[in-house]
Amino acid sequence: MVEAAADLLAREGRDAVTTRAVAAAAGLQPPAIYRLFGDKDGLLDAVVEHGYSTFLARKRQAASPPDPVADLRAGWDLTVEFGISNPELYVLMYGEPRRGTTSAAFLAGMQMLTGRINRLAVHGLLRLSEHMAATVIHATARGAILTWLSLPEDQRDPALLRILRESMVATVTTQAPPIDDPGPVAAASALRASLPEAAALSPAERGMLAEWLDRLIDRSPAQDAPAGDTP
């Protein structure tokens, strides 16, 4: 029944997960849901637990790079990829602040994150306390996924995910950013901001220059960093 509910959630969204629809998909009568889960909220809690268990299994199957910082990036990328690939499930799991946070699978996943952070600390690479580092890593991944899902598809630029990931790495670890010098990005940003006032250019010329400047600005240092499997 939980798998039937998760399938309905993935295909048709949360509103489709009704007791009648889930019971029909599972080949049972609606009273079975109330007997097993109490009510629809109890069923959704079970779906959340199922989601955490599925994600935990993926985490355990993923290879861990020997370098602690590369391992941190890989774990963050894996989390983001899961959220983007399972939007309805992820929103159910993380859209409400405390839903599912006491589940065994969630706590096991947090232990794996704590292990990654401890490796950083052992190698002298941790800038924050282990507790604060875990909070920052979890918050940036969660924010990145929910922000991505909130954007229209034609505005979903993978550079956003790389920038957020590298900002997290720079905040949590002592590793230097991939490129310290912004190069032409800062100059291009300043010129792009003042472009509407460039009366010497025709509208067409301003449009063309804006396109070129946007390309320079979007080619940020974070885009040159390894992106792992992040889409």
Give the integer Cα–Cα distance in Å for 75 and 141.
Answer: 10
> Which residue would you say has higher pLDDT here, 178 or 139?
139
The string of pLDDT tens digits covering residues 187-205 is: 777 777 887 887 888 888 8
Report how many domains make up the chain: 2
Q: The CATH number of the domain where 109 resides is what?
A: 1.10.357.10
DSSP H helix total and E strand total for the chain:
11, 0
Instruction: Kindly state whether residues 106 and 64 are assigned to the same domain.
Output: yes
Instruction: Kindly state whether residues 62 and 12 are assigned to the same domain.
Output: no
Which 3 state secondary structure label does DSSP give 126?
strand
Residues 6+ apart with CB under 8 A from 125: 68, 69, 173, 174, 175
- Residue from 95, 80, 82 nearest 166 by CA: 80
The string of pLDDT tens digits covering residues 213-230 is: 888 776 544 444 444 444
Q: The CATH number of the domain where 27 resides is what?
A: 1.10.10
> Which residue would you say has higher pLDDT here, 118 or 216?
118
The string of pLDDT tens digits covering residues 5-36 is: 888 888 888 888 888 888 888 888 878 888 88
| Distance in Å from the first CA to the final CA of the chain | 31
Report if pTM > 0.85: no
Instruction: Kindly state whether residues 32 and 46 are assigned to the same domain.
Output: no
229 found inside a domain: no
Residue-number span of the structural domain to which 24 is assigned: 1-38
Instruction: Kindly state whether residues 11 and 54 are assigned to the same domain.
Output: no
